[in-house]
Amino acid sequence: MIAKDQILIIYKDQKTVTKNQEFWNDKFSNKFNVNHLYLYDYIHLTNKNIIDVIKKKITELKVDKIMFEGDHLSLIDYNFIKSFEGNLKKGLFCGDDTEWHQVNLLTGCACDFVLTDPVSSLKFNELGIRSIFSTIEANDNIFKDYKLEKEIDVLFFGRDKTDRKDYINLLKENNINYLSVNPYLEISDTMEKLAKLINKSKIVINLTKSSNGSRYYNPSSSLKYGYFFKGRIIMVGMCNSLCVSEYAPSVKLLFPNNELPTFSSKKEFLEIVKDYLNNKQKLAEDTKKYHLSSMKYSDKNYVNKLYEFINEIKKKDEIEVKIPIWYYYLTIRQHFRLRAKFIKIKSFFLQFFENFRLPIYTYPINILFFLRFLPILIFKKIF
């Protein structure tokens, strides 16, 4: 039996609702021996000491590949990742790059590769950072055909954002049997429950329209909305139900042969849904075609592509990057915010002095956030 490669995954914390860490661990365990740790378990230490803990683990496990969680900043930033040198292959995995791309781009400059959504992957590659698409929720043991009776005509799942209610009202007005759920309802508060609801549905709607956010470093924030990749277009197909998706460029990248029906207006949405519900043969044929196409992205299939991609990556020449002041503003803020949040007094003060190893122009930022979060730390300690 061929020994599996060792890989170490560094998460910010352990999610309790989406539990994405379980999906990543399960995905890579198909081809790797997976080890992981959560940074917030070590928040009582300074950044340098946390890095030393990880380096010790790398040596003990004989790890030659390490992956860091991207997106919402924690302690994982360009300088944190840059501290790991040698022949170690370093990767960044992002599940929400559309809003955090400018941050992930700088963090990714310290890495050898990035795993992200289809469109963002092109953007990273364009700037010389090797990248490949990888969805999160594609576990074949959860999202599969349970052979359940399809008693729900149309299913919505996800949080209530943008104009989702408008689509639900259209279904109400046209007396279409539908169900709308979110991660906080008892009927759909686990992925296993959600997978079975998908199985019971003839059609699942994917709305791609999402807010661009208002973060000042995101150049797209001047536009209110964008049309982004959503993992449900793969989850639904693996469950052998039909997904009908709102337009997004990622849909064409992943399903180039029109296996996934799309709409660009509420009128077109209603026409497509009615057409499928009134034509059982067409629904069955298109569901089968879509299911077969979706399965190539399932963990047990797609992990082979990820494995080859990571193993073929060669240590690249260092990308020349000038870290902007706003990036240090974000990262240094997190150094103190997190330690104040978890009431870690010793590491809060020690991190203040450790940050003076950063460029001199960051000193005012270091002092600013030390003073800003110190009263919060004291208040939490007392009360």
Res 319: pLDDT: 77
Predicted model pTM? 0.93
Res 73: pLDDT: 77
Average pLDDT over residues 110-128: 95
Instruction: Using the predicted structure, report yes or no on whether residue 217 has a pLDDT greater than 80.
Output: no
The pLDDT tens digits for 291-339 are 999 999 999 999 999 999 999 998 766 777 889 999 999 999 999 999 9
CATH class of 5-137+302-312: alpha beta
Which residues touch 93 (CB under 8 Å, ≥6 apart)? 24, 67, 68, 69, 70, 114, 115, 116, 134
| Phi, psi (rounded to 5 degrees) for 94 | -125, 135
Q: Which letter does DSSP use for residue 243 in this model?
A: E
The pLDDT tens digits for 236-261 are 999 999 999 999 999 999 999 999 99
The pLDDT tens digits for 14-72 are 887 777 899 999 999 999 999 999 999 999 999 999 999 999 999 999 999 999 999 88
CATH 3.40.50.2000 residue window(s) in the chain: 5-137+302-312, 152-297
Q: What percent of the chain has pLDDT over 70?
A: 98
Indicate the pLDDT class of residue 2, thresholds 50, 70 and 90: low
Q: What are residue 69's DSSP bridge partners? A: 93
CATH code assigned to 152-297: 3.40.50.2000
Rounded distance between C-alpha atoms, residue 214 and residue 42, angstroms: 31
Indicate the pLDDT class of residue 3, thresholds 50, 70 and 90: low
3-state percent helix, strand, coil for the chain, nearest multiple of 5? 50, 15, 35
Instruction: Using the predicted structure, report yes or no on whether residue 341 has a pLDDT greater than 60.
Output: yes
* Residues across the chain: 383
The pLDDT tens digits for 140-170 are 999 999 999 999 999 999 877 667 888 999 9
Structure tokens that stand for 145 in this block: 């055909």
Long-range contacts of 344-349 (CB under 8 A, 24+ apart): 344/43, 344/44, 345/377, 345/381, 346/44, 347/43, 347/44, 347/45, 347/46, 348/373, 348/374, 348/377
Q: Tokens 């337009």 — which residue?
A: 247
